[in-house]
Structure 1
């Protein structure tokens, strides 16, 4: 029986790997989870019925992060040795480090560009036994043996084969069928790669709200806390319901990378404003290849407002975006199915893809 460890450092990672974990278990593997002490991530794991080991809370300061990382590595190593883990997977520093000092093999799934995450590029990806990334990053990785596939992390849980929205979420949010509404998401930008990164200011958030008010209800979800001026818009549904709610949204706006991509793959128009605009390859592909989303730097906020006004004037916006989504899905694979095959057949799966790069297209 193959034993797999999945390490979680962000609530979104639960979504990335929950379908994969389910398939691996159905195929006879034993799956272990480790998670940083993040309340939303733990609630999601509880909701999906996964048992897990809790690691210490993340630190905000750089030195604090270094110290905590040593703690994470030690705890993961002990767990791997105790449970005789075969493969550790995730978007994680620890799985790569542990694999270098043990028999455990590491498979890292990374969809961020090298230049926006220099610490990961230097201290994680080179140490992983295998590195998998979306096709959007082809030619942009320092690691030459990166394995690419046509798809996005968000398709691991939002591909039509993996996700059926629950329309009951509308009633839970106080909405009627076909009632227009907008979802907004604001980050705190305290990750190691967020130094010097800016998102939307409070003034800009309020400006967007004023533009949206005449067109429908507004719901705001935040990473940590919310400004008093925005409290009246705070979304109060269970975190596992957010994707079902997003399916029915008129539009998504914010400074979050992940939720912008989630909206895009669901065929919901999305506008993003932060310093990463123009630098994230998978979002650039979603924008320029499929026209599903738009990114703006904070200094170009006026252009974002102009684009918002243009989109609000489109008479059948949903139908237009669903057609774009169909094109994207026709060129993407079922990411979870591909990941599952790759893990269960590792390391032979590397040889298969080396000799037959088109093999991944069997998962369309």
Structure 2
């Protein structure tokens, strides 16, 4: 069979890369339609994934609206030429491609607040797959799994370090280091949202550097490293998870990497305008489990970071929390492959509505 995957962001590459490899190992054909955004193409090349670029996206706000028409022209042309048996994606691009060529579409999403995308995707999607924490009902085609989308590549059955990242970074075996992740806020769901201001970024790095070596991954590439006591994370982006797994702490105003840190057993502090009432269910659960901290106010970010870096035994504590948390979570790669190859698999999954009526703690 032929399967078409959409990777609009680097996170989507990780979401589907292991399923693509497994499907190809079973003799199926795959193709990725990719957007040139951030390090998406670097990751596709690193993992040797066949792909066609349908367009690019700058990290500036509203750039998507300007480039959308050309994106769709290329997507529809390539989808018709490939003629897939099934399409996997995250949102509107995949849904609309499926509708145009009459192919079934499965969307995996974990962001409740992408309301516009849901509105324009839902009529054309054959199924949604979301984490069990997803706090929104997308209708009768909405199925849930116990875990997060990051379980496709950071589940213990899937993740293996690719490098001696400490040597790659130039840090000692016992040297504490912190990863700071800064968001460009250029995606459509980021419009109107914000994270650390330039002033707070400088203060954050300066204060963290008093207790640990600091590496900054800046999506918008705006930080001037000549004027800050931090080092740029300049390894290949495919090694970022290895760095997260070894780090003492992640501080971020972005989203996905916070979940990734939690699933790797690394304490994480998340701070942006999404934090607060109406926040996404996955971050609420990870905080309840003691794996991350959601802090809207900057002073609370610094207080929490200082406390974590000053405590002993944090790494062992978080390793135990990670093991306990992941014990009943699905390997999402296995599930994607099953949904791709077994036409009955989706029907065996609970819908959002039936899942919400299950006893607390029931597995999916």
DSSP 3-state at the match of 1:88: strand
Q: Deviations over 1:28-80 (max 9, x none)?
A: 21000111123621111111111211112125454x53453333333222222
Q: Check whether the contact 2:205–2:229 (CA below 8 A) recurs between aligned residues.
A: no
Structure 1 regions of 5+ residues with no counterpart? none
Structure-2 separation of matches of 1:109 and 1:137: 11
Describe the shift of the 1:244–1:16 C-alpha distance in structure 2 as closer, same or farther (beyond 3 A).
same
The two structures have a TM-score, normalised by structure 1, of 0.91
Q: 1:87 to 1:187 in 2, by over 3 A?
A: same
Q: Secondary structure at the match of 1:219?
A: strand
Distance 2:346 2:50 in 1: 30
Per the alignment, in what secondary structure is the counterpart of residue 179 of structure 1? coil
The alpha carbon displacement at 1:171 in A equals 0.9
* Distance change >3 Å, CA 39–CA 313, structure 1 → 2: closer
- Number of matched residues? 353
The CA RMSD measured in Å over matched residues stands at 2.3
Distance in 1, matches of 2:268 and 2:18, equals: 25
Q: Is the 8 A contact 2:163 2:239 kept in 1?
A: no
Deviation digits for residues 141-197 of structure 1 (CA, Å, limit 9, x no counterpart): 242431000111111111111111145121111112121100001011121121221
Per-residue Cα deviation, 1:179-230 (whole angstroms, up to 9, x for no partner): 1100001011121121221101122222222332232210000112132234
Q: Deviation per CA, 1:219-246: give whole Å up to 9, x if none.
A: 0001121322348521111111111111
Give matches, 1:18-57, under 5 Å: 18-38=17-37, 40-57=39-56
Work out whether residues 126 and 143 of structure 1, in 8 Å CA contact, stay in contact via their aligned partners in 2.
no
Equivalent position of 2:233 in the other structure: 235
Q: Which moved more, 1:155-164 or 1:72-81?
A: 72-81
Which of 167, 177, 180 is the equivalent residue of 1:184?
A: 180
How far off is 1:321 after superposition?
0.6
Deviates most, 128-137 or 349-358: 349-358
Give the counterpart of 1:320 among 295, 311, 317. 317
Map residues 228-307 of structure 1 onto 2, 5 A cutoff. 228=224, 229-230=227-228, 232-278=230-276, 279-288=279-288, 290-297=289-296, 300-307=297-304
- For residues 57 and 309 of structure 1, the distance between their equivalents in structure 2, rounded to whole angstroms, comes to 39
Q: Find the aligned partners of 1:82 and 1:167 in 2 and give their Cα distance.
A: 38
Contact 1:93 1:123 in 2 (8 A): yes
Work out whether 1:124 is the aligned partner of 2:121.
yes
Compared CA separation, residues 168 and 89, structure 1 to 2 (3 A): same
SS of the counterpart of 1:101?
A: helix
Contact 1:188 1:223 in 2 (8 A): yes
Aligned structure 1 segments of 4 or more residues deviating by more than 6 angstroms: 355-358
In structure 2, do the counterparts of structure 1 residues 176 and 55 end up closer, same or farther at CA, with 3 Å as the change threshold? same
Does the aligned pair in 1 maintain the 2:83–2:101 contact within 8 Å? no
List per-residue Cα deviations over 1:107-144 (Å, max 9, x = no partner): 1110101xx21211211233211110000015x22424
8 Å Cα contact 2:122-2:138 kept in structure 1: no
Structure 2: distance between partners of 1:274 and 1:354: 32
CA contact (8 A) 2:61 2:187 kept: no
Contact 2:30 2:50 in 1 (8 A): no
How far the C-alpha of 1:310 sits from its partner, in A, is 2.1
In structure 2, the partner of 1:226 is: 222
Structure 1 residue 85 displacement after superposition:
0.8
Contact map agreement 2:91 2:118 (CA 8 A) in 1: no
Identify the structure with the greater helix proportion: 1
* Structure 2: unaligned runs, 5 residues or longer: none
Distance 1:72 1:213 in 2: 42
Partner of 2:199: 203
The residue that corresponds to 2:57 in the other structure is: 58
